[in-house]
Amino acid sequence: MDVVYTGMVIKTTNVGEFDKRLVVLTKEAGKIVVFARGARRPKSSLLSATMLFAYGEFELFAGKDAYQLKKVVIKEFFENITKDIESVCYASFFCEFADYFCKPGQNSRNILKLLGYSLKALENEKIDNRLVKCIFEMKMLYFSGEYPEVFSCVKCQKKEISYFSVLGYGMLCDDCKNEYSDSFKINPVTVYTLQYIISSKLKDLYKFNLRKDILDELVFLMKRYMSFHVNHNFKSLDTLSELVLK
Ligand SMILES: [Zn+2]
């Protein structure tokens, strides 16, 4: 049976001499595995369409155990990302995170959309890539339900909040700041930024910038939060840290 799914290639592995195994995140069927026969032959029409980040319509033969790729109509290559090694690292991390996070058969429309907006944001030179990474991570955590409480104190629900605790899953007020040993004071602008990321629509996520000290604080906070609550070693992050995150 033939099907046509809209999606993005989030992982590619070489198989045999000329073939490729792809993980494609689709609108219609969530995360699927697709085999692309002969995709690595120099003159194959599937050569560029089976690269990481390729987004488009995938015409597939749905076999008993896996999908076979027949044809792809590419809508977006994210070419500007592939021109810059740092952006490639960030985008690879986003794909790796999405692959780790999405289970086969699970509806992943939101994540596919988030990936699209985030890759576009990496192409936009006006937005710092470190901010794009923080926003992407926080929105992924939001989709998983593992996001921190940033609108009121996690202990007493008071709205006057200025401390953040990774262990406590969110913000604390002055009275409750000692409830968790790891709590640290953060800037009100950082609090507002976290609230904005969690509550905003995907299309509005990448419409702001931060001054350097706020971005540094957000990066610090997200790094700690991710390592404690996601705790997975993403290969693409190793390359990224060698390049930029030092
Ligand atoms: Zn409190």
pLDDT digits (tens, 9 = 90+) for 95-146: 999 999 999 989 999 999 999 999 999 999 999 999 999 999 999 999 999 9
The pLDDT-based confidence of 231 (bands split at 50, 70, 90) is confident
Q: What spacing in Å lies between the alpha carbon of 196 and ligand 1's midpoint?
A: 21
With a pLDDT cut of 90, the percent of the chain lying above it is 88
Compute the distance between CA of residue 192 and CA of residue 173 in angstroms, rounded to an integer.
15
Q: What spacing in Å lies between the alpha carbon of 163 and ligand 1's midpoint?
A: 10
pLDDT digits (tens, 9 = 90+) for 11-57: 999 999 999 999 999 999 999 999 999 999 989 989 888 999 999 99
Q: What spacing in Å lies between the alpha carbon of 169 and ligand 1's midpoint?
A: 13
Compute the distance between CA of residue 93 and CA of residue 240 in angstroms, rounded to an integer.
8
CATH assignment, 2-77? 2.40.50.140
Q: What spacing in Å lies between the alpha carbon of 3 and ligand 1's midpoint?
A: 53
CATH assignment, 86-243? 1.20.1440.120
The pLDDT-based confidence of 66 (bands split at 50, 70, 90) is confident
Of 84-98, 133-147, 225-239, minimum mean pLDDT range: 225-239
How far from the centroid of its chain's Cα atoms is residue 64's Cα?
30
What the block records as the tokens of 159 is 């709205």
Residue that the structure tokens 């994540």 belong to? 111
Please choose, from the candidates 49, 48, 140, 136, the residue with its C-alpha nearest in 3D space to the C-alpha of residue 90: 136
φ and ψ at residue 172, rounded to 5 degrees = -135, 150
Where are the domains positioned within the chain? Answer: 2-77, 86-243
Please choose, from the candidates 246, 238, 222, the residue with its C-alpha nearest in 3D space to the C-alpha of residue 89: 238
Q: What spacing in Å lies between the alpha carbon of 159 and ligand 1's midpoint?
A: 8
Task: Tell me what pLDDT residue 4 has.
Answer: 97
Compute the distance between CA of residue 162 and CA of residue 164 in angstroms, rounded to an integer.
7
- Sign of the torsion angle spanned by Cα atoms 182, 186, 191, 194: negative
Q: What spacing in Å lies between the alpha carbon of 154 and ligand 1's midpoint?
A: 7
- The mean per-residue pLDDT over the stretch 141-160 comes to 96
